[in-house]
């Protein structure tokens, strides 16, 4: 088992205002899988992803990667875990505005001791001819491709994507999903992608459905289809 999520619980607020956002989450993801985490807005998807990403802590339960629990790691190992194992792609891209495409991707490479070749990666992502542009000179799709580049350049074991197509139109969304699929195929990174778009589950190897902080479904998708054939 590559990534194990065990009895994860998380609440926000204090006393009377306390709400339990994750109520005991259990699932695991195999190496190289695309796992789509599906659920309506407010169901706890981002909270779960942030805990997997080591950005937030759980109240109970644990995450283990290759059998090593992140709760048992000290600050230094946790930092190494984030650097080595995790790449993060957000809905709103979060690029550095005064750095160009290439430099934004270099930020990701800088944190790694096994970075991919940046020029090659920019070609894969269709960004090479845009490499000297600043984020505000790019379309939404190009900005998201740059964000994928920044996350993937360090060749992380796990690529976490939080609503990566949430701000994009239909055609551009499909193009981004196709790229995530290609990255998974080419570099073998495990992908955990959060979405509220039901159609996206069809490109997954594993589908985990979340509602009100609980898992409602967790299954292997036997009829996986290519991202370019998705329709919604
Ligand atoms: N830092 C926080 N403080 C208080 N409440 C939060 C915090 N983060 C998330 N929540 C609440 O937890 C619930 C789940 O949020 P979230 O994980 O962002 O859901 P999703 O990503 O599925 O839309 C929401 O009701 C949200 O308001
Ligand atoms: Mg969210």
The string of pLDDT tens digits covering residues 201-217 is 999 999 999 999 999 99
CA distance 201 to 182: 16
Would you state the pLDDT for residue 113? 81
Would you state the pLDDT for residue 164? 94
Would you state the pLDDT for residue 226? 97
Ligand having the closest approach to the CA of 161:
2
Would you state the pLDDT for residue 57? 92
Residue nearest atom 8 in ligand 1 by C-alpha distance = 47
- This prediction has a pTM of 0.94
Phi, psi of 9 (to 5 degrees): -130, 145
Place of tokens 């709400």: 19
Quote the mean pLDDT of the chain: 94
Joined together, the tokens standing for residue 79 give: 């930092």
Of 28, 60, 40, 27, the closest CA to residue 215 belongs to 27
CB 8 within 8 A of CB 61: yes
Would you state the pLDDT for residue 182? 93
Would you state the pLDDT for residue 84? 78
10, 14, 21, 50: which to mutate for ligand 1, most atoms within 8 A of CB?
21
Would you state the pLDDT for residue 219? 98
Place of tokens 């993060």: 88
Angle at the Cα of 114 from the Cα atoms of 110 and 115, rounded to 5 degrees? 50
Of 180, 175, 171, 183, the closest CA to residue 232 belongs to 171
pLDDT digits (tens, 9 = 90+) for 146-161: 999 999 999 899 999 9
Atom of ligand 1 lying closest to residue 163 CA: 21
Ligand 1 contact via 213 beta carbon (within 6 Å):
no
Would you state the pLDDT for residue 82? 86
Regions of the chain with pLDDT less than 70: none
Would you state the pLDDT for residue 126? 93
Joined together, the tokens standing for residue 167 give: 């701000």
Angle between helices 140-152 and 101-110 (to 10 degrees): 20
CA distance 104 to 144: 12
CA distance 203 to 27: 19
Would you state the pLDDT for residue 142? 96
Considering the chain, what percentage of its residues have pLDDT values greater than 90?
84
Joined together, the tokens standing for residue 86 give: 């995790």
Would you state the pLDDT for residue 221? 98
């Amino acid at each position: 088992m590559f990534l194990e999520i065990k009895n994860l619980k998380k609440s926000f607020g204090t006393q009377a205002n306390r709400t339990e956002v994750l109520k005991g989450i259990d699932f695991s993801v195999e190496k190289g899988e695309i796992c789509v985490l599906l659920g309506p807005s407010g169901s706890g998807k981002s909270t779960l992803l942030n805990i997997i990403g080591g950005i937030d802590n759980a109240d109970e339960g644990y995450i283990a990667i290759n059998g090593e629990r992140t709760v048992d790691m000290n600050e230094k190992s946790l930092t190494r875990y984030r650097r080595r194992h995790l790449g993060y792609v957000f809905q709103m891209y979060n690029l550095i505005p005064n750095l160009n495409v290439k430099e934004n991707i270099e930020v990701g490479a800088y944190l790694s001791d096994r970075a991919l070749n940046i020029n090659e990666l920019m070609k894969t992502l269709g960004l090479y001819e845009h490499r000297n542009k600043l984020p505000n000179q790019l379309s939404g799709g190009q900005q998201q491709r740059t964000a994928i580049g920044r996350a993937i350049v360090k060749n992380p074991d796990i690529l976490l994507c939080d609503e990566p197509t949430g701000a994009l139109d239909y055609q551009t969304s499909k193009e981004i999903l196709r790229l995530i699929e290609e990255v998974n195929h080419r570099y073998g990174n495990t992908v955990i992608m959060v979405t509220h778009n039901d159609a996206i589950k069809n490109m997954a190897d594993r589908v985990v459905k979340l509602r009100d902080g609980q898992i409602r479904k967790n299954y292997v998708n036997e009829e996986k289809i290519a991202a370019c054939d998705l329709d919604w």
